[in-house]
Amino acid sequence: MTRRYVIALLRVLCAIAFFVAILWTANFPYSTDAPLSSAEVTAARDYYTQIYLKPIDDRAAETDYDRKYQEAAEGAAKGSRIVERVKEFVDRFDLNNKPVLEIGSGRGYLQDAAKNYVGLDISPSVARFYRKKFVVGTATALPFADDSFDGIWSIWVFEHVPNPEQAFREMRRVIRNNAVIFLFPAWNVDRWAAQGYSVRPYSDFGPAGKLIKASVGFRSSSEFKTAGILPVRLSRWLAAQVGPTTLRYTRLQANYDQYWVPDSDAVNSIDSYEGALWFLSRGDECLNCGDSPMFLSMYEPLIIRIHKSAKTTLQ
């Protein structure tokens, strides 16, 4: 009888291990930074230039695509209290009179969050919206000297950066030692966002697409996502024990033609823990990760304090 129970237990454990292995394989972020073609760079720059090209109050001149993009962005910002949260960040770390940088500043909604503000965006057409300093540039090659800023924030930008690890390096380069970063990409972007499976009718899809759409509700649940992400986070934590990590993410095919849902135009999906681990493995602090960073929310910002001279340590 005892032997039978042991065999049954082993079978159960093997089944669990097999299931975990499938989840790990399906959710592991295989992509890392890769050089971009000139066509890819041009397509992204043209896309964001056109989005911001028309005057903010000229609704009649906007296309339906422009309107959807702007309404989604403005609605999300209000719902997530972005202005209030950035101002709280500025107040908490006494940044109002210190040099701060916003990466991916768009139309400059946050330029009044601090007095000594610099906005940077890939789109030159947004310059007319600024009363404060604005610089055209890319997150992967910031046009600033080392140690230029006491604070940096970036809201819903890094999911649109094709080489996000290079952008992380640049952000860390231009910020001063012991300075702080408010990093809030759209973490964990759904892989089906570009195709709009969650909002389009079944009639839009063939048999394979219908199956994907039918699975979206289940795959979007927090329980399913948590079950898939925790084995990956554990493996990434183990990898970080031997030194600074390489940022890993899932590369996405951006949809620049139809803006079905927020982040239809995302080019990558980064897990929040992967982002935190990149900084932690370089000796920086995550000020809002709590005692167990592995159980970080998949949708909240990171507040990072940079320690450039620190030895590589992990929390």
The whole-chain average pLDDT of the chain stands at: 86
> Residue 120 belongs to what H/E stretch?
strand 117-121
Which regions of the chain does DSSP assign to beta strands (E)? 100-103, 117-121, 133-136, 149-155, 175-184, 250-251, 268-269, 285-286, 302-305
Interval 293-301 mean pLDDT: 92
For β-strands 100-103 and 117-121, DSSP reports them as parallel
16 falls within a domain: no
CA dist list (Å): 236 to 210, 271, 283: 33, 11, 16
Q: Position 65: which residue type? A: Y
11 falls within a domain: no
Report which of residues 226 and 150 the model is more confident about.
Answer: 150
81 falls within a domain: yes
Report which of residues 271 and 18 the model is more confident about.
Answer: 271
pLDDT at residue 299, rounded to an integer = 92
Report which of residues 309 and 273 the model is more confident about.
Answer: 273
pLDDT at residue 157, rounded to an integer = 96
Distance CA 262, CA 247 (A): 23
The CATH number of the domain holding residue 252 is 3.40.50.150
**With 60 as the cut, is the pLDDT of residue 55 above it?**
no
Q: Position 251: which residue type? A: R
Report which of residues 220 and 68 the model is more confident about.
Answer: 220
14 falls within a domain: no
314 falls within a domain: no
Residue 305 phi/psi, 5-degree rounding, is -105, 125
pLDDT at residue 4, rounded to an integer = 74
pLDDT at residue 301, rounded to an integer = 96
92 falls within a domain: yes
**With 80 as the cut, is the pLDDT of residue 288 above it?**
yes
Q: Name the band, by pLDDT with cuts 50, 70 and 90, for residue 313.
A: very low
| CB of 214 closer than 8 Å to CB of 299 | no
pLDDT at residue 315, rounded to an integer = 42
Tokens of 55: 């005057």
pLDDT at residue 71, rounded to an integer = 61
**With 50 as the cut, is the pLDDT of residue 160 above it?**
yes
Of the candidates 268, 300, 270, 298, the residue with the CA atom closest to the CA atom of residue 287: 300
Tokens of 66: 């422009």
Tokens of 101: 């940088």
pLDDT at residue 60, rounded to an integer = 45
> Can you give the residue range of the structural domain that contains 149?
39-305
**With 80 as the cut, is the pLDDT of residue 314 above it?**
no
At 3-39, the pLDDT tens digits run: 777 677 777 777 777 667 787 787 888 899 987 677 7
Interval 262-268 mean pLDDT: 92
21 falls within a domain: no
pLDDT at residue 69, rounded to an integer = 57
18 falls within a domain: no
| CB of 261 closer than 8 Å to CB of 198 | yes
Q: In sequence order, what are the residues at sequence separation of 6 or more whose Cβ sits closer than 8 angstroms to the Cβ of residue 9? A: none
Interval 224-244 mean pLDDT: 93
Domain count, the chain: 1
What DSSP line would sit under 258-270, residue for residue?
---STTTT--EE-
At 67-121, the pLDDT tens digits run: 555 565 666 666 678 999 999 999 999 999 999 999 999 989 999 999 999 999 9
Paired residues of 183 in beta bridges:
154, 302
